[in-house]
Structure 1
């Protein structure tokens, strides 16, 4: 427990370094591209266009929620998914790729996953602004339920760091884990309610309840309900799922920080 709080405190103590390194990483990634940082927006927009043509047009899916067209509903959900998917994968490689840099610059290795997560936030905010634009075009206006977005954003960042510190350590110990993680995330894409609403599907009730325990689903559905004014976090079944979500984050964070603290002195040798 002490180790977990120590590593969490390192994130706040080194927040300025995290921001500077994340900003530098973004520029370095696209410095040789003609469109530069514009690809941070173009890539998700292209994916959204493909998914909408397949699921919204070709398969002619109806409104997933009463009074909510498919396109804004899908974009509000796919925005956090694209951010979480990329952040989980980037954070899982962070220690393996950058531990040498951390040893030279003398900052805690534990902030490497945070640098990757923060580096992807610019794309997330841009896509969120696009989501709000689509909502306004479809006559869905801000309401008091939007305040819940802050809570779900905190949930998302907590989940991403817990997974980041765990996956980045395991990837150093077991190199195959990073490839396995990619396959897991591809499967979770279809199990997180990004493209269709579990509540309006023909799935058995028990299966829906199991799928709702997915932490990615909790965040995606929570942000949707907040921005689309369709539910509150303290209502059932959201309250029960919230407890399960935070238990999951706590367990992953505890195991991840323990492993990180145990092996970080040997990261360079292991790599």
Structure 2
């Protein structure tokens, strides 16, 4: 006797459980349950939908994604006495450590007029990417019970986790603006460029988080390795040192300098600094250092990461949550 099979409509919603025996066709042989279901327009509830439909399904869940992210944000740090304050304290404490070790002891602040705004901007912007990727890598594996209980596009989870980090960043930006204004920066129209920059960085973070969510779902060890990768990426992205200071050291390896400039971690950090810090723009102008390709790099990384990451994640849609 065939076992019951859960079926759904083409939209993915379960509508029936067929427990009746297979029907006989005209030749007297039994008709398979799959053929019977296909003849009546039914499909498996766990089947991967076409890419176009999948995009539409994710868009239709946008309210769920935002609500899920808001609930996660509200529940963060509830067990600690300072609560959400830790979201600001953590990058500030990192800034203090980096300033002491790299700014004072190793003197990496050479060439930078106002090193503190330079450092704070770099740490806050890079932390947005760092936390997004680390959260995205565990977004599927940490929600297996939700995946197994409800039918929804699994890409909603990495998206929601990145939105959580965006909400946290917006809180941190209040502190960031307070610090740069305290060091003499003045409001200007140039600062409005931070909005499209963050939009591009958000797309980049989402795309890479989708890819890491698939990897993390089937290879949990990547979550242990990721902090080391992110720390190395931070050191290579000019977060704690003045990138032009490497120019004379890499004269024989010009390609390596260009690679560091095209590095997406560096691209978004540099765009944030040139948007917010007039003193930093003056430092670059003084040494005749400029890169007209920064915005093109930012657009390329955002679009490429989103397209490839979304496609890569969607290819394994029916496998998430299976034991």
Where 1:178 maps in the other structure, the secondary structure is helix
Q: Structure 1 unaligned segments of length 5 or more: list them.
A: none
Q: In 2 relative to 1, CA 166–77 (structure 1 residues): closer, same or farther, beyond 3 Å? A: same
- Show CA shifts across 1:149-181 (max 9, x none): 112111110100110111101222333333333
In 2, Cα distance between the equivalents of 1:254 and 1:135? 35
In 1, Cα distance between the equivalents of 2:210 and 2:235? 25
In 2, Cα distance between the equivalents of 1:265 and 1:241? 38
Displacement of 1:103: 4.1
- 2:319 matched residue in structure 1: 266
Asked whether the equivalents of residues 95 and 120 of structure 2 are also in contact (C-alpha less than 8 Å), the reply is: yes
- Of Structure 1 and Structure 2, which has the larger fraction of its residues in helix? 1
In 2, Cα distance between the equivalents of 1:127 and 1:121? 10
Find 1:168's aligned residue among 205, 209, 213: 213
Where 2:139 maps in the other structure, the secondary structure is helix
Q: In 2 relative to 1, CA 86–5 (structure 1 residues): closer, same or farther, beyond 3 Å? A: farther
Where 1:195 maps in the other structure, the secondary structure is coil
Asked whether the equivalents of residues 134 and 223 of structure 2 are also in contact (C-alpha less than 8 Å), the reply is: yes
- 1:204 matched residue in structure 2: 250
Asked whether the equivalents of residues 95 and 113 of structure 1 are also in contact (C-alpha less than 8 Å), the reply is: yes
In 1, Cα distance between the equivalents of 2:176 and 2:114? 12
- Show CA shifts across 1:56-77 (max 9, x none): 2333444543xx3111110011
- 1:59 matched residue in structure 2: 106
Q: Which has the higher contact order (CA 8 A, sep 6+)?
A: 1
Displacement of 1:85: 0.5
Instruction: Give the total of aligned pairs.
Output: 264
Where 2:315 maps in the other structure, the secondary structure is helix
Displacement of 1:112: 0.5
Asked whether the equivalents of residues 87 and 172 of structure 2 are also in contact (C-alpha less than 8 Å), the reply is: no
Q: Structure 2 unaligned segments of length 5 or more: list them.
A: 1-48, 283-288
In the superposition, the TM-score normalised over structure 2's length comes to 0.73
